[in-house]
Amino acid sequence: MNTAADTVLQPLLAADPGAPLVTHYDLAAPSRIELSVTSTANWAAKIAGLLRDEVGVAPGDVVVCDLPAHWLTAGVLLGAWWTGAEVRTGPADDAVAVITTADRLDRHPADVETLLMTTDPMGRPLAAVGVDVPPGVIDLAESCRIHPDAFIPSGVGGLALDGRRVGELADPTLAGRALVAGRERKDVLTVLAGIFASGGSAVLVTGADADSPGAADVATTERTTLTL
């Protein structure tokens, strides 16, 4: 039996490890970052190592993720899955960790282990972009870098996202190259999880709505096959 991350990544790595899995356009920056299946798996492994070895996340634990559309969000989702944890997109009394961004820190309990994800287009740690990290809070981008690019799970959890197993997230209509633009935080992880579980790839656009000329240009350039 595999973790949710293994279930998603193994067939993608076997089919074409160099294929793009996550492409992120920040139209305000402007910037474009693309991660292959292998690169995404490497980031996920580092984050999984951080969560298990430093935070103590174990199979079956709950990790709350309150995150925007960003290429690193994909690594967080898959990294949490690799530990065997269930990701929740909303508050959870049984959460052992919360992963969010600096601007949302005050929305989450202070007594739960908290990690802050950078929203810098290049993924630079918070200190490098002038964001203060409070004592006791972990800078995810800074702390995960020392962990290996490969991860061997300690065990297998059951649920993947908001009470659903990874197989329940799959949808054949999501198996293409999906444009994801203008989505609210609460929807981003659900959309990404569905795409990955279905064998698809994601083109994330921030700084523009889905019906904007900028997003339309991205869709043409990236040859997306569906919009979510």
Q: What is the DSSP string of 113-181?
A: EEEE----TT---GGGGT----TT-EEHHHHHTTS-S----S---S--BTTB-HHHH--GGGSSEEEEE
Q: What pLDDT does residue 65 have?
A: 98
- Is the separation of the CB atoms in 66 and 104 below 8 Å? yes
Residue whose entry in the numeric block shows the structure tokens 């174990």: 58
- Give me 170's structure tokens: 């799959």
Could you tell me which residues are beta bridge partners of residue 22?
A: 35, 202
User: What parts of the chain have a pLDDT lower than 50?
Assistant: none
The reported pTM is 0.97
At residue 186, the pLDDT reads 86
Q: Is the peptide bond before 134 cis (omega within 30 degrees of 0)?
A: no
Enumerate helices (H) and strands (E) in the chain, giving the number of each. 7, 10
Which domains, from first to last, does the chain contain?
4-227 (3.40.50.12780)
Residues 111 and 114: their CA atoms lie apart, in Å, by 9
Q: How far apart are CA 208 and CA 181, in angstroms?
A: 7
**Among residues 106, 99, 105, which one has the least CA distance to residue 67?**
99
| pLDDT tens for each residue of 38-86 | 999 999 999 999 999 999 999 999 999 999 999 999 999 999 999 999 9
Distances (CA, A) of 123 to 57, 139, 160: 23, 11, 25
pLDDT of residue 108: 97
